[in-house]
Structure 1
Amino acid sequence: MSQTLIAGANAPLPNDNISVRILSQNSIDCAAYRLTPDGKVRGDGDMIFYGQKSSDDNSVSFRGHDSDGFFDINLPAQPANIDKIALAFSSAQTLAQIGDVDIQVLQGSQVVLTCQLNATGRSEKAIILAECYRRQGSWKFRFIAQGFNGGLKPLSEHFGVEIADEAPAQAQPINAQKPLNTQRVSTPPPIPNTNNATKPSVNLSKITLTKNQSSINLTKRDDFGKISVNLNWNQRPNIDKQAPKKGLLGDLFKQHGASGIDLDVGAMIHLKNGEKTLIQALGNRFGSLQSAPYVCLRADDRTGQTSGGEWLDINGQQWAQIEEVFIFAFIYEGAPNWAQTDGVVTIHAPEQPPIETHLTEGAGNMPMCAIARLVNQQGSINVERINQYFKGHQEMDKAFNWGFSWKKGRK
């Protein structure tokens, strides 16, 4: 049976890989900070959040988004001078507006600890939820629930970090075709002070493409570097008897059940020489970065529990050879309910804020989602949100006139 902690209480942790799951009824930005005995981060690599999803040694990583996020922590692999790992979140809203926040600590699929942050009457916009800390050679977990009325600045000062008021111009060479959604950018987690006055080494901005703000243009450059497209989603872990029967957590498990959903990301590529090709795990069409089509699919995640989700890489050095990259995802296994997947696709390009879009609008019996396309516009990259849903590959192909011949296949 799992143990429930009240604020201020602690409990032992297994000396193993654990996951800390944070559940909210509204959007929050979660962050983890690895701290030395003086309570300070050592540098950029000790902050883990949506813009930097793993620590410098990959022993702490973040997956999920918004209202359902996971921190995967390899406790035995933590550096000797890391004394604790603080878990926090910030939001544009007060805690009272956000509502109660639930926390689970899992070892594998088993919930070992639960906590609930009561939001009633609380006006803070930044909260230290909990911490994993060393004690006499072992690891323990403490539920803290400490808030800061001033928001991000007091939180960052608590950890010995600073927040850049705005990213410098050279870190955001993006020209929006339509007004951008700045809601998610207004309260990012703090950035470590690296004593670099001209350019922060961690870009905290995030751009969310929506129906009303559906495209953005990345200014032309000679070399875009490696562009990475991430598909992440939350497969609900099968916790059987460990699942809570009441409250927010219980409701979520009743709604989603224990069965998993397997999402696959893929791309159709149109090269400047007229060639068209397909990249996806189905049929083992993984592509290539160094030769045409200059797009490559990394390993296929069949569970949704891998910390990084699924990734497509695009060779930005060869962008001049590419006319368009059309990104899609489909539900390979599980009920075609996009709202249950909590799917999010994020495009990462060097020296650019992450560009994300959420896959939550699809209707039932529509397992295919056309997500976005990256179009070469005289050397620039125009990123256009699509988010249209179809019964399958053939219907999507026909809607966008790609002209492929399709047949059934399996992985």
Structure 2
Amino acid sequence: MSQTLVAGANAALPNDTISVRIVSQLPIDCAAYRLSHSGKVRGDGDMIFYNQTRSDDGAVSFRGHDADGFFDINLTNQPADIEKIAIAFSSDQPLSQLGDIDIQVFQGQTLLLNCPLSAANRSEKAMILAECYKRQGAWKFRFIAQGFDGGLKPLSEHFGVEIADNPSPVPTPPPSPFQNQSSGINPKPANSNLNAQNSTPPPAPTVNLSKITLTKNQSTINLQKRDNFGKISINLNWNQGGNPNPQAPKKGRLSDLFKQNSGAARVDLDLGAMISLKNGDKTLIQALGGNFGDLQRAPFVCLRGDDRTGQVSGGEWLDINGAQWSQIDEVLVFAFIYEGVPNWSQTDGVVTIYVPGQPPIETRLTEGAGNLPMCAIARLVNQNGSINVERLDQYFQGHQYMDKAFNWGFNWKRGRK
């Protein structure tokens, strides 16, 4: 049976992997900070948020779905010098306008703790919600609700994170557990500052908080021409099955997402792309039919793999060889619901495009109508060597209808995986 905490109260945690869920009525930016005895982070790998979704050792990870954020925390594998893990949020609006927030702690499917936070008369735009902390070798959880009047920047600086004033190269996103063998491009080396064995002290951590959100009203962005854009990675993530515990409190938006005869089921979204090259060749890559593409040879686009279980928190990934961008004319990125009743408005689907040296580009799948399982998400178009990213967010009855709408001209037949 779950326990409800009031602000200031604490409770014991199992020495296991837990999930901390932050439920908000409106989108907020969530962050976790691993802290040493000084109350500060040891380096940039100890801040986990939308621009860096895993700690440097993978023991803390973040998965966000619109108004919900989940932190998966392996308490057993935390470094010995980590004494606290603070959970916080920030927003452009004060809490009183966001509405009440719930902080929930799960062990697997079991709800352990529920911490309701009332928004009444709260003017803060950022807040330390809670913390996991070690006491005499055991982990405990404290509900804090300590507010800041500033946003994510002063909150992060409070924990010792140095925020970059100008946009800096965005860290390469973590590899998918379904890495395709043909990917070919080496990922960016992990940050080794904390383990450097030399007399030069490691530089202060610097984190870039900027991101770009494409919306219906602001639907395009152009990335200036380069000789080599590096490895471009596109991530599709979504609510893969509703509330982790069907008996836990709900806000309505995550309950009963996809029903089958046996009850609630995890939804299987598939990521894919249509690629047009400068030489006129056109290619379709998707898990359906088993065409995963290739990075080193045409079409220079590769689907890392297919999460057929719907249980991989990192979602699905598509990579583009930016060193070969001059040979690519267009990449149209799409997704379709392979299993489950189409209900895009409740998947909380989000697509994030990572281009080295640029803030992440994010678009949300918000305009899907019922019974239309196919979504044209965005297209990346080569405009005289630059990358023009255009949000589409258009929905169709199937592959052929989407093909016809964008004049690709593929020959279609029924496939399976």
Do these two structures clear the TM 0.5 threshold for a shared fold by scoring above it? yes
- Match runs of 1:350-365 below 5 Å: 350-365=356-371
* Pair 228,87 (structure 1): closer, same or farther in 2 beyond 3 Å: same
* Pair 281,153 (structure 1): closer, same or farther in 2 beyond 3 Å: closer
Q: Distance in 2 between matches of 1:96 and 1:5?
A: 21
Match of 1:313 in 2: 319
Once structures 1 and 2 are overlaid, which stretch shifts more, 210-219 or 8-17? 8-17
* Pair 224,237 (structure 1): closer, same or farther in 2 beyond 3 Å: same
* Pair 2,204 (structure 1): closer, same or farther in 2 beyond 3 Å: same
Do the aligned partners of 2:23 and 2:251 also contact (CA within 8 Å) in 1? no
Q: Secondary structure in 1 aligned to 2:324? A: helix
Do the aligned partners of 2:242 and 2:255 also contact (CA within 8 Å) in 1? no
Which structure has more helix as a fraction of its residues? 1
* Pair 380,241 (structure 1): closer, same or farther in 2 beyond 3 Å: closer
Per-residue deviation, 1:110: 2.0
Q: Distance in 1 between matches of 2:390 and 2:226?
A: 19
Match of 1:51 in 2: 51
Opposite residue 213 of structure 2, the aligned amino acid is T
1:226 pairs with one of 231, 238, 247: 231
- Match runs of 1:108-123 below 5 Å: 108-123=108-123
Unaligned stretches of 5+ in structure 1? Answer: 173-193
Q: Distance in 1 between matches of 2:244 and 2:350?
A: 24
Q: Secondary structure in 1 aligned to 2:404? A: helix
* Pair 351,201 (structure 1): closer, same or farther in 2 beyond 3 Å: farther
Once structures 1 and 2 are overlaid, which stretch shifts more, 295-304 or 313-322? 295-304
Q: Distance in 2 between matches of 1:238 and 1:221?
A: 43
Q: Secondary structure in 1 aligned to 2:155? A: helix
Match of 1:272 in 2: 278
* Pair 150,357 (structure 1): closer, same or farther in 2 beyond 3 Å: closer
Match of 1:107 in 2: 107
Q: Distance in 1 between matches of 2:381 and 2:160?
A: 42
Match of 1:167 in 2: 166
* Pair 347,135 (structure 1): closer, same or farther in 2 beyond 3 Å: same
* Pair 357,254 (structure 1): closer, same or farther in 2 beyond 3 Å: closer
- Match runs of 1:226-305 below 5 Å: 226-237=231-242, 242-244=247-249, 249=250, 251-252=252-253, 254=255, 256=257, 258-305=264-311
Q: Distance in 1 between matches of 2:373 and 2:246?
A: 30
Q: Does 1:398 find its partner at 2:399? A: no
Do the aligned partners of 2:331 and 2:379 also contact (CA within 8 Å) in 1? yes
Do the aligned partners of 1:233 and 1:304 also contact (CA within 8 Å) in 2? no
Do the aligned partners of 1:235 and 1:303 also contact (CA within 8 Å) in 2? no
Opposite residue 401 of structure 1, the aligned amino acid is N
Q: Distance in 2 between matches of 1:36 and 1:284?
A: 46
Match of 1:26 in 2: 26
* Pair 218,153 (structure 1): closer, same or farther in 2 beyond 3 Å: closer
Q: Secondary structure in 2 aligned to 1:242? A: coil
Q: Name the TM-score, length of structure 1 as normaliser.
A: 0.88
Q: RMSD value over aligned CA atoms? A: 2.0
* Pair 342,152 (structure 1): closer, same or farther in 2 beyond 3 Å: closer
Opposite residue 20 of structure 1, the aligned amino acid is V
Q: Distance in 2 between matches of 1:364 and 1:313?
A: 30
Q: Distance in 2 between matches of 1:346 and 1:153?
A: 22
Do the aligned partners of 1:319 and 1:379 also contact (CA within 8 Å) in 2? yes
Q: Distance in 2 between matches of 1:14 and 1:303?
A: 27
* Pair 156,202 (structure 1): closer, same or farther in 2 beyond 3 Å: closer
Per-residue deviation, 1:409: 1.7
Opposite residue 279 of structure 1, the aligned amino acid is I
The Cα offsets for residues 177-231 of structure 1, whole Å up to 9 and x where unpaired, read as xxxxxxxxxxxxxxxxx857xxx85322111111211111111111111000000
Unaligned stretches of 5+ in structure 2? Answer: 171-201, 259-263
Do the aligned partners of 1:263 and 1:332 also contact (CA within 8 Å) in 2? yes
Query: Could you tell me the percent identity over the aligned residues?
Result: 74
Q: Distance in 2 between matches of 1:72 and 1:160?
A: 22
Per-residue deviation, 1:288: 1.3
Q: Secondary structure in 2 aligned to 1:273? A: coil
Match of 2:394 in 1: 388
Per-residue deviation, 1:157: 3.9
* Pair 262,12 (structure 1): closer, same or farther in 2 beyond 3 Å: same
Match of 1:42 in 2: 42
Do the aligned partners of 1:243 and 1:253 also contact (CA within 8 Å) in 2? no
Do the aligned partners of 2:348 and 2:365 also contact (CA within 8 Å) in 1? yes
* Pair 361,109 (structure 1): closer, same or farther in 2 beyond 3 Å: same
Per-residue deviation, 1:253: 5.0
Q: Distance in 1 between matches of 2:305 and 2:21?
A: 24
* Pair 265,239 (structure 1): closer, same or farther in 2 beyond 3 Å: closer
Opposite residue 251 of structure 1, the aligned amino acid is G
* Pair 296,150 (structure 1): closer, same or farther in 2 beyond 3 Å: closer
Per-residue deviation, 1:404: 1.0
The Cα offsets for residues 56-109 of structure 1, whole Å up to 9 and x where unpaired, read as 112211112431111111221211111111110001100111111111112222
Q: Secondary structure in 2 aligned to 1:145? A: strand
Q: Distance in 1 between matches of 2:246 and 2:349?
A: 26
The Cα offsets for residues 24-62 of structure 1, whole Å up to 9 and x where unpaired, read as 001210011111111100111111111111111122111
Q: Does 1:217 find its partner at 2:218? A: no
- Match runs of 1:54-65 below 5 Å: 54-65=54-65
Opposite residue 102 of structure 2, the aligned amino acid is D
2:208 pairs with one of 180, 203, 226: 203
Q: Name the TM-score, length of structure 2 as normaliser.
A: 0.87
Q: Distance in 2 between matches of 1:288 and 1:171?
A: 25
The Cα offsets for residues 297-343 of structure 1, whole Å up to 9 and x where unpaired, read as 11222344422111101111111111111100001111211111000
Q: Does 1:370 find its partner at 2:362? A: no
Per-residue deviation, 1:236: 3.4
Q: Secondary structure in 1 aligned to 2:26? A: coil
Q: Secondary structure in 1 aligned to 2:40? A: coil
Opposite residue 143 of structure 2, the aligned amino acid is F
Q: Does 1:74 find its partner at 2:74? A: yes
